[in-house]
Structure 1
Amino acid sequence: MAQQPAPAAGRAGATTDEQDYTPDPRRWKALSVCLLVGFMSLLDVSIVNVALPAIEKGLGASESALSWVVSGYALTFGLVLVPSGRIGDALGRRTAFFAGLILFTVASMACGFAQGAGWLVGARLLQGVGGGLLMPQISGMIQQLFRGAERGKAFGMLGSTIGLSTAIGPLLGGLLIQVFGAAEGWRWVFFVNLPIGIIAFLLALRLVPRACAERDTEHRHSLDPLGVLLLGAGVIAVMLPLVEERQWHGQGKWLLEPLGVLLICSFVWWERVYLRRGKEPLVNLRLFQDRSYSLGALLGLVYFAGFTTIFFIFTLFLQNGMRYSALQAGLTLTPFAIGSAVSAAVGGRFITRVGRPLIALGLVLVLIGLAGAALTVHEVQNSSVGWALIGPMLCAGLGSGLVISPNQTLALRSVPVAQGGAAGGVIQTGQRIGSAAGIAAVGAVFFAWLASSHDWATALDYGLLTAVCFVAGALVVAVVDILFGRRDARDAARDAARRQA
């Protein structure tokens, strides 16, 4: 895709960033710490799913409590992403990184020692806040420490980490329960974060550069509290009915959706007012004048609606439908993790040269893989289905690795470094909302067909078909961006020819 012109503020910021940039000799070591922490925080999105039956037995947790163990983490994680990015931009990413790391590690310990369902849910909410505080600092530090092709490579490594953590979660969770037993194994799903958190803290003290502690002194006193309140309330109103779709009975919950849209519209209005007053808003809406950023954010939202649901419905199908153990279910999803890790690293190296067509190729591979998985489940209705799924899951994983991190690289390439945390937080918030919406939609289709047919394979087929629709929507967004990019390239070439004539 042709390079698109950034908004005026973005062009000036990007130029200044390039002029002021001096490569830090420790940047790759600092990245390794960021990847370790990112792996830990994102692992908790998926690792808990296979532990839910053990938590139910160990704590006597209700279905509603189990839902909050999963959805509560996603809710608070998504809620604090944008404010955390702005805090890191204004007060120093290194400081915010350490705060998030300490909170996440302590909350993980509290989860492991939980003596009741309420205790566990509360600790998971805090854990989500810690994770949401960490992720914008990681993307912001990559923005700050790397430029050009190196930035693409760094984001590619982050993409490998995202793919691995999301897909390896069920495998690691199943292995821990297998080793420590069903009664106490679920506690080690949380305790595993303690050594990782401590090691990461000690490494970060030495390896994360002091430059990442620099503050945006011009705007550090204008943290936009009303913007934080409006956006936070809007995100809660939009996400809560989605994450509680199965537990919150009745249609009244959907009244929160228009309220959430109204709050987000109010947030947009306020951000414009705040900017006109000469202050730095929570989110600089001028970022959305850059087509690559706005379409990248939209693509991430739609893709995550299909991507994260794959693990949700496959875990249910394999464990409850095919009677696989937690470990066996995790092993079945491992080819996706391997494919995603490999292709994300490769995609990071080529995305700055190839552009959006590489992402479109990845989405096509995901569609082929999911279609193949649906056909496999339909044809192989016995315990050998796990072996038969290796090929389709590997194909889908290879495609996914070419989507998530390359898309973030393109979306953020014109964003000034000073706004990198908040800009990355917006994209990640969209991904969390997309995940919640996708699980609600795909889950509704999956459980409706299961209730009517009592056939797990049929329910999975229709659930995968719904996920395919979301992925296809993301492909449409990518194609639109490609077409507009080619049009801009033709217009630029025509203008250049006229000037020469």
Structure 2
Amino acid sequence: MTQSAALSPPLAAQPERAKASGLLLAVILLGQFLAVLNVNIVNVATPTIEADLRSSGAGLQMIVAGYTIVYAVLLITGARVGDLFGYRRAFLYGLALFTLTTLGCGLAPSTGALVGFRFAQGAGAAMMMPQVLTLIQRNYQGPARGRALGLWSAVVSGGIVVGQALGGILLGLGAGWRIVFLVMVPIGALLLVAGARALPADQGGGRGGLDPWGLLTLSAAVLLFVVPLVLGRELHWPLWGWISMALSVVMFGVFVRVERWVTGRGGRPLVDARVLRAPGMRPGLGVLLLGPATWGAFLFTSALHLQGELHLSPFASGMMMVPCAVAFAVVGLLWPRLPAGLQRPLVPFGYVVAAPAYVGLGLAAGGGALYAVMSALIGAGLGVQVAVTNMATEQVDDAYAADASGALLTVMQLGQVIGVSTVGTLFISLSQAHSGSSASMGTAIAMATLAVLAGLCSLFLARRRALNVA
């Protein structure tokens, strides 16, 4: 069982705390919504950005994945900053950086500048977003935590709905791709004002430091793997790219050794082995790597396929994704309300639904109602990921809440980067060498394979929880 790290207030203060807690949840979830909106509104705009800035395929992938790469690498450090210096301060500073760099994206004159601002956006999000799950885990227990995580899942999927739809509406009005960034600037500014008033003050003072050596080696390992995947196709897979990917494996090994060295010296590593030993964390990490990989690949390739091969307008393309996101939200919201005996098998079953739905999506590459149905099934299947998050962290002590949240979110974001860089590269290569239908079917099979692997990992997660409950 987890132990609460928060002190209970006097009885007379309980009503005031309940009110503050609800306002706290609203503010941090709005911040989460803004970050998710930023990812998905860009997916719809990629064909327009390509035409206006004359971006290459690699440039488009970096515009989408660059934000996520930095976000993934810095998430654990962002969680640690909140633990050390206060969650309120980390959230607000991260939101400020995110808002300023979003303005920079909207004014970027070239693909290179846009990629640079996207990297900086990712740093702001990495400072802001880990505080969300950490605050939920530290302030909500039992069914309340499940409900809060259900709302968190709904906000994630809601950002997908609004991102796809709003991006399509703005582009359909002829406002240009820049508006998809600029529209978020006043939202971020208003949220900064509200957050400064609503978020409770905290002193920080957490354990240990920031582990700069761990951050350096992890960053190097991720970049050595992702950059050649994104750039390799257009450069005809040069030798340096293969060497870089091989070195990434070596660097991941160096990262593990560095973390052991930090632990041996009494420091606090980025990834504490005690967190990984918690029941459910390891299979949960496997599921949250593979499942989001299919999700990131699906969102990236769908926008290119619908607006490219099928010549749909940005608005129509965005609307095609709404059934998927709505189904994702519904499953995430309903899961905590199910009997405990149904929650465990729901997770593997979700991937049983998603895998064949990906294949069906490839067969329905011509669009229409069947395409929308298949995308809804994909959303319903992947909606169980909120259950994965809860099951993976329920046995983690609150003293390690920031570490667990950072590790899970890092793996989720790395999964999306891997999906965009690998399956996205496959889609672009097949589109240029063969027909659009061949590209859709090839990537559908790849995404289905990843979903099957995620389902296999989830079997271990469900079994582990069953044993704990027994």
Aligned-pair CA distance for 1:186: 1.0
- Distance verdict in 2 for CA 1:320–1:351, change over 3 Å: farther
Give, as a single letter, the amino acid of the residue that structure 2 aligns with 1:390.
A
Aligned-pair CA distance for 1:412: 1.5
Instruction: Determine the structure 2 residue equivalent to 1:153.
Output: 147
Structure 1, unpaired ranges of 5+: 1-10, 493-501
Give, as a single letter, the amino acid of the residue that structure 2 aligns with 1:215.
G
Moved more, 433-442 or 62-71: 62-71
CA distance in 2, matches of 1:61, 1:443: 15
Alpha-carbon contact 1:47-1:173 (below 8 Å) kept? yes
Moved more, 301-310 or 425-434: 425-434
CA distance in 2, matches of 1:488, 1:209: 35
Structure 2, unpaired ranges of 5+: none
CA distance in 2, matches of 1:367, 1:415: 30
Instruction: Give CA-to-partner distance per residue, 1:337-380, whole Å, 9 cap, x none.
Output: 11111111112444866443221222222224323323333xxx
Alpha-carbon contact 1:56-1:62 (below 8 Å) kept? yes
Q: How does 1:297-336 map to 2 (within 5 A)?
A: 297-336=285-324
- Are 1:214 and 2:203 an aligned pair? yes
Give, as a single letter, the amino acid of the residue that structure 2 aligns with 1:66.
L
CA distance in 2, matches of 1:414, 1:57: 49
CA distance in 2, matches of 1:273, 1:425: 20
CA distance in 1, matches of 2:277, 2:266: 19
Give, as a single letter, the amino acid of the residue that structure 1 aligns with 2:306.
L
Aligned-pair CA distance for 1:85: 1.2
Q: CA RMSD in A?
A: 2.4
Instruction: Determine the structure 2 residue equivalent to 1:8.
Output: none
Instruction: Determine the structure 2 residue equivalent to 1:228.
Output: 215
- Are 1:133 and 2:132 an aligned pair? no
Instruction: Give CA-to-partner distance per residue, 1:426-475, whole Å, 9 cap, x none.
Output: 22221222222223332344344434432x22321221111001001011
- Are 1:256 and 2:244 an aligned pair? yes
Aligned length in residues: 462
- Distance verdict in 2 for CA 1:157–1:275, change over 3 Å: same
Q: How does 1:450-489 map to 2 (within 5 A)?
A: 450-454=431-435, 456-486=436-466
- Are 1:101 and 2:81 an aligned pair? no
Instruction: Give CA-to-partner distance per residue, 1:73-98, whole Å, 9 cap, x none.
Output: 12212221111111112221111101
- Distance verdict in 2 for CA 1:21–1:254, change over 3 Å: farther
Instruction: Determine the structure 2 residue equivalent to 1:238.
Output: 225
Give, as a single letter, the amino acid of the residue that structure 2 aligns with 1:393.
S
Alpha-carbon contact 1:241-1:257 (below 8 Å) kept? yes
Alpha-carbon contact 1:332-1:387 (below 8 Å) kept? no
Instruction: Give CA-to-partner distance per residue, 1:304-324, whole Å, 9 cap, x none.
Output: 121221122222221111110
Secondary structure, aligned partner of 1:186? coil
Secondary structure, aligned partner of 1:283? coil
Identity %: 30
1:193 corresponds, among 184, 187, 208, to 184
Give, as a single letter, the amino acid of the residue that structure 1 aligns with 2:249.
V
Aligned-pair CA distance for 1:486: 4.5
Alpha-carbon contact 1:103-1:130 (below 8 Å) kept? yes
- Distance verdict in 2 for CA 1:140–1:244, change over 3 Å: farther
Q: How does 1:177-192 map to 2 (within 5 A)?
A: 177-179=171-173, 181=174, 184-192=175-183
Give, as a single letter, the amino acid of the residue that structure 1 aligns with 2:266.
G
Instruction: Give CA-to-partner distance per residue, 1:101-120, whole Å, 9 cap, x none.
Output: 00000111111122333332
- Are 1:442 and 2:423 an aligned pair? yes
Q: How does 1:395-414 map to 2 (within 5 A)?
A: 395-402=377-384, 404-414=385-395
Aligned-pair CA distance for 1:245: 4.3
CA distance in 1, matches of 2:144, 2:87: 20
Moved more, 186-195 or 113-122: 113-122
CA distance in 2, matches of 1:351, 1:275: 40
Alpha-carbon contact 1:139-1:424 (below 8 Å) kept? yes
Instruction: Give CA-to-partner distance per residue, 1:364-408, whole Å, 9 cap, x none.
Output: 22224323323333xxx4xxx233322222222122222x22211
Secondary structure, aligned partner of 2:3? helix
TM-score, normalised with respect to structure 1: 0.85
Instruction: Determine the structure 2 residue equivalent to 1:496.
Output: none
CA distance in 2, matches of 1:207, 1:351: 35
Secondary structure, aligned partner of 2:445? helix
Instruction: Determine the structure 2 residue equivalent to 1:390.
Output: 372
- Distance verdict in 2 for CA 1:243–1:434, change over 3 Å: farther
- Distance verdict in 2 for CA 1:16–1:176, change over 3 Å: closer
Instruction: Determine the structure 1 residue equivalent to 2:405.
Output: 424
Give, as a single letter, the amino acid of the residue that structure 1 aligns with 2:227.
L
CA distance in 2, matches of 1:143, 1:473: 28
CA distance in 2, matches of 1:185, 1:70: 17
CA distance in 2, matches of 1:289, 1:311: 33
Aligned-pair CA distance for 1:58: 3.6
Instruction: Give CA-to-partner distance per residue, 1:265-305, whole Å, 9 cap, x none.
Output: 22222222322332322221111112301110111001112
Q: Which one has the largest radius of gyration?
A: 1
CA distance in 2, matches of 1:254, 1:88: 37
Secondary structure, aligned partner of 2:126? helix
Secondary structure, aligned partner of 1:291? coil
Give, as a single letter, the amino acid of the residue that structure 2 aligns with 1:293.
M
Alpha-carbon contact 2:33-2:156 (below 8 Å) kept? yes
Alpha-carbon contact 2:44-2:164 (below 8 Å) kept? yes
- Distance verdict in 2 for CA 1:53–1:439, change over 3 Å: closer
TM-score, normalised with respect to structure 2: 0.91
Instruction: Give CA-to-partner distance per residue, 1:137-176, whole Å, 9 cap, x none.
Output: 1111111221111111111111112223235423221111
Secondary structure, aligned partner of 2:5? helix
Give, as a single letter, the amino acid of the residue that structure 2 aligns with 1:195.
P
Instruction: Determine the structure 1 residue equivalent to 2:263.
Output: 275
Structure 1: which 4+ aligned runs deviate by more than 6 Å?
none
